[in-house]
Amino acid sequence: MTPSYKQHQSSKTGMLPGTIVYIGELPAKPSHAWIHIYSDHEYQKGEGFDLDLIHKALAQQKHVWVDITGLGNVDDINQLCAEFGVHPLIIEDIVNTHQRPKLEVFEHYQFMVFKLLNLRAKALRYNTEQFSMLVKKNLIMTFRESNQYDMQPLYQRLGAELSMIRQQGSDYLTYLIMDNIVDNYFNFVERSTHELEVMENFLIEDAEKIQLKMIYSIKRHSLTLRKTIAPIRDIIHLLLQEKPQLIKANYRLYYQDLYDHTLRLLESVDLHYDMASSMLDIYLSTQNNRMSQTMKVLTQFASLFIPLTVITGIYGMNFEYMPELKWHYGYFAVLGLMGFVFGGMLYYFKKMKIF
């Protein structure tokens, strides 16, 4: 039996192409399947990998959405996909969570991969979770690494009477799933916007409150967002321009609107990255200026005490013939000389506006 969990792609070295092994940064969650069967006036929800229920619904020309959370049960996932003619290499990609977001078009189905985002507490980067979707006639199968991503809004709309989803069918549901994912990206972009606004206020009021970790966090978040959103923009552009036959004419405006959303998101992400880079430059300049000011103060004090050090050094020599050493007022004279030199240099620095 093949291993159930591998962390790195290199772990599959030596295995045959199409070997179904889960690969991910974390151990796989147990798989749970939710089956949504719907038509214009009917909705039914089932649970588990019930192939007979799916076949029966498809035979009745109903629409079926199989939503699977957790990729731990690779045998069940393999059996489900193979039952509907999915190529072993595609099944392999479903359970390999290191896939890049992409669109692959086959004769009888399309395969898409997206990335879902979530934020771990006190993390410098967003965590990504793979979301795979297979689209066939009247059948959609989605695969998620966990149940952290909320699909309840779509579940509720499917269950609502006279729902537009049930009237429009699988093509419209495919769009809604993509739209739901893109809309979720706005939450993370808006979070970055808020963090930048906070740092801008710090920059105006008290630049010393800005921490390097805050700037670095926003830069990392922006990079993750761009790597996540840019491929989806490319996928939608591909559907609109190069694969228009995959989209029904009455849905083209929906996908065009979705494409506009991805462009807006990417513009915001690029702006955030540039702003974070500018703030990093300002932060480093502030640190350099602070260091320069500190060195300036230390240099001024050193300049004041160097002549005094010379004087004390001269009279600290242990020569036998030094007339001032036996003079009754020698000590006070040297102190006076040192005070005069110190005061003179202080006056000169003030006049030259060095202080």
- Residue 177 has a pLDDT of 94
Rounded to whole angstroms, the Cα distance separating 23 from 99 reads 10
- Residue 233 has a pLDDT of 93
Task: Find out whether 149 and 133 touch, Cβ atoms under 8 Å.
Answer: no
- Residue 2 has a pLDDT of 42
pLDDT in tens, 92-116: 999 999 888 999 999 889 999 999 9
Element holding 276 (H helix, E strand): helix 252-314
Q: What are the domain boundaries of the chain?
A: 1-165, 169-297, 315-351
Confidence bin at 124 (pLDDT 50/70/90): low
Task: Find out whether 266 and 234 touch, Cβ atoms under 8 Å.
Answer: no
Per the CATH hierarchy, to which homologous superfamily does domain 169-297 belong?
Magnesium transport protein CorA, transmembrane region (1.20.58.340)
- Residue 1 has a pLDDT of 39
Rounded to whole angstroms, the Cα distance separating 269 from 189 reads 7
- Residue 256 has a pLDDT of 93
User: What is the pTM for the complete model shown?
Assistant: 0.77
- Residue 300 has a pLDDT of 80
* Position 355 pLDDT exceeds 70: no
Task: Find out whether 199 and 283 touch, Cβ atoms under 8 Å.
Answer: no
Query: Which ranges of 130-251 would DSSP assign to H, the alpha helix?
Result: 152-159, 164-168, 170-205, 212-237
Residue type, 190: E
- Burial category of 349 from C-beta neighbours within 10 Å (exposed 0-12, middle 13-18, buried 19 and up): middle
Weakest-pLDDT range from 11-15, 67-71, 156-160: 11-15
Confidence bin at 220 (pLDDT 50/70/90): confident
Mean pLDDT of the chain: 85
Residue 162, phi-psi category: left (phi > 0), alpha (psi -120 to 50), beta (remainder) = left
Element holding 348 (H helix, E strand): helix 330-351
Residue type, 197: E
* Position 6 pLDDT exceeds 60: no
**In this structure, is the dihedral angle defined by the CA atoms of residues 293, 295, 298 and 299, taken in order, positive or negative?**
negative
Q: Mark 146-158 as b/e (b = at least 16 C-beta within 10 Å).
A: eeebebeebeeeb
* Position 34 pLDDT exceeds 50: yes
What percent of the chain shows pLDDT beyond 70?
A: 93
> What mean pLDDT comes out for the span 38-45?
88
Task: Find out whether 20 and 74 touch, Cβ atoms under 8 Å.
Answer: yes
Confidence bin at 10 (pLDDT 50/70/90): low
Task: Find out whether 290 and 210 touch, Cβ atoms under 8 Å.
Answer: no
Rounded to whole angstroms, the Cα distance separating 68 from 241 reads 31
- For 32, phi then psi, to 5°, come to -130, 130
Per the CATH hierarchy, to which homologous superfamily does domain 1-165 belong?
CorA soluble domain-like (3.30.460.20)
CA 290 to the chain's CA centroid: 32
- Residue 335 has a pLDDT of 86
- Residue 9 has a pLDDT of 60
Confidence bin at 303 (pLDDT 50/70/90): confident
* Position 202 pLDDT exceeds 60: yes
Q: In a 3-state reduction of DSSP, which class is residue 316?
A: coil
Strand 110-118, strand 127-136: pairing:
antiparallel
Helix axes 252-314 and 212-237, enclosed angle (nearest 10): 160
Confidence bin at 313 (pLDDT 50/70/90): confident
- Residue 3 has a pLDDT of 43
Q: What angle do CA 286, 287, 288 make, to 5 degrees?
A: 90
Weakest-pLDDT range from 61-65, 230-234, 307-311: 307-311
1-165 and 169-297 share one CATH topology?
no
- Burial category of 36 from C-beta neighbours within 10 Å (exposed 0-12, middle 13-18, buried 19 and up): buried
Torsion, CA 83, CA 84, CA 90, CA 93, rounded to 10: -60
- Residue 344 has a pLDDT of 86
Tokens at 257, concatenated = 């609107």
Q: CB within 8 A of 237, min separation 6: which ones?
A: 259
